[in-house]
Amino acid sequence: MSSVLPVGGAGSEPRLGRIQHVALTTTTPLAEVGEFYSHWGLTPVDTGEPDSSIAFRGRGSLTHAPHHIVRFLAGDHVGLGHIAFGASSRGAVDALHARWSSAGVEIRSEPASLDELGGGYGFDAADPEGRVLRVVTEMETADPVPPGAPLPLAITHVVLNTVDIDLLCGFYVDVLGFAVSDWSEHQMVFLRNGTDHHTIAFNQAAHASVNHVAYELDSVDHFLQSVGRMKSAGVEPLWGIGRHGPGNNAFAYYGDPAGFVPELTADVQQINEPGWIPRVWRRIPSQSDLWHLAGPPSAEFRAAGAGSPDPNCHPPRWTPSPPNSA
Ligand SMILES: [Fe+2]
């Protein structure tokens, strides 16, 4: 489980914190989505508008217990609503807003108290393909849940399909402050903003969309119990079980009824070395799955992970600053 690198404070740059939640839009009846995610091990959170949105909390931990970790909104398409990242304080939110604004990042809403599920104080920005990134602090937290249950704690990473992996990688590193952990050939890049091997990853694709959303268990034993819980509910993985080379995490990918791919994962590699040197992994079964159980990605996983073009995304709009010639 991740610890977060310093956020704000004297003498340090403000940094994005952990993923608080992901909002996803779907055309599927929400009751059907809710049934799947109850099997997944999440707990419903009252949105006050059950016909238009449902939300779920994870088990959480002592240091990270977001009000909700995923919210599904009824809509006319399948796509990303936003990814919300934590910040340590209002000062950190304001500092990130100022830095991103001066770098030319598209700001969708100015820092303010949020009249949204879980409240808080934050702002919305957009990445070069139009994905909405929210920076938020002071959201309500979920009540503690006694440890021990084999339930997803929180969202540990989101993988996004992009039409320009180099441009998006450059933006997230140079402007947003992420670091490259590894590459999977020139097909995927894994980016971290804490100690988890990746918080965001990009996959080169024909269109922009959500590839998958990963829910973390606190041990491989709990991971396997969760795979078993889904099996008991009649749901088998699209790909897995296995353990990835890049990130070293256990994986099992599913297809949800909302049109997304949720992943069960555990034992994510922690990177603490400031001198970490990214590796380029080969895309062969023995490096995709160190357990040699999963085989190559299934056609079902590839199709579900590709998703459909997100109508809220657009061709990349970003001109990187020229390298400093000084
Ligand atoms: Fe993943």
The string of pLDDT tens digits covering residues 152-209 is 999 999 999 999 999 999 999 999 999 999 999 999 999 999 999 999 999 999 999 9
Residue partners of 187: CB distance under 8 A and separation at least 6: 165, 203, 204, 283
Going from the Cα of 213 to the center of ligand 1, the distance in angstroms, rounded, reads 7
Structure tokens at 195: 């100690």
Instruction: For residue 265, report the distance from its CA to the centre of ligand 1, in Å.
Output: 7
pLDDT at 5 over 80: no
Provide the pLDDT for residue 1: 56
Q: What is the pLDDT of residues 234-289, one digit of tens each?
A: 999 999 999 999 999 999 999 999 999 999 999 999 999 889 999 999 998 888 89
Cα distances (Å, whole numbers) of residue 197 to 6, 37, 126, 182, 191: 17, 25, 23, 8, 7
Measured in Å, residue 190 CA sits from the centre of ligand 1 at 10
Pinpoint the residues of the chain covered by CATH 3.10.180.10: 19-137, 154-306
CATH for 154-306 is: 3.10.180.10
Q: Which amino acid is at 98?
A: A
Q: Could you tell me the distance, in angstroms and rounded to a whole number, from the CA of residue 45 to the centre of ligand 1?
A: 25
Average pLDDT over residues 44-73: 95
> Residue 98: which region, alpha, beta or left (left: phi > 0; alpha: psi -120 to 50)?
alpha
Contact present, 249 and 265 (Cβ < 8 Å): yes
The CATH code for residues 19-137 is 3.10.180.10
Grade residue 6 by pLDDT with cuts at 50, 70 and 90.
Answer: very low
Residue 39 CA to ligand 1 centre (angstroms): 19
What per-residue confidence (pLDDT) applies to 4? 44
Q: Which amino acid is residue 135, in one-letter code?
A: V
Percent of the chain with pLDDT over 70: 94
Residue 320: predicted pLDDT: 72
Question: What's the gap between Cα 16 and its chain centre?
Answer: 13
Answer for the pair 148, 221: CB distance below 8 angstroms, yes or no.
Answer: no
How far is the centre of ligand 1, averaged over its atoms, from the C-alpha of 53 (Å)? 25
| Span from the CA of 187 to the centroid of ligand 1 (angstroms) | 14
Between 52 and 284, residue with greater pLDDT: 52
Sheet with 106-113, edge to edge strand ranges: 43-45, 53-57, 70-74, 19-26, 79-86, 132-137, 121-126, 106-113
Cα of 253 to ligand 1 centre, how many Å?
A: 8
Q: Tell which residue, 89, 129, 82, has the closest CA to residue 111.
A: 89
DSSP readout, 63-96? Answer: S--BS-SEEEEE-SS-EEEEEEEE-SSHHHHHHH
Contact 193/179 with Cβ under 8 angstroms? yes
Strands 132-137 and 121-126: antiparallel
Q: CA of 87: how far to CAs of 13, 40, 92, 131, in Å? A: 12, 28, 6, 19
* Cα 158 to middle of ligand 1, angstroms: 7
* Ligand 1 center from residue 83 Cα (angstroms): 15
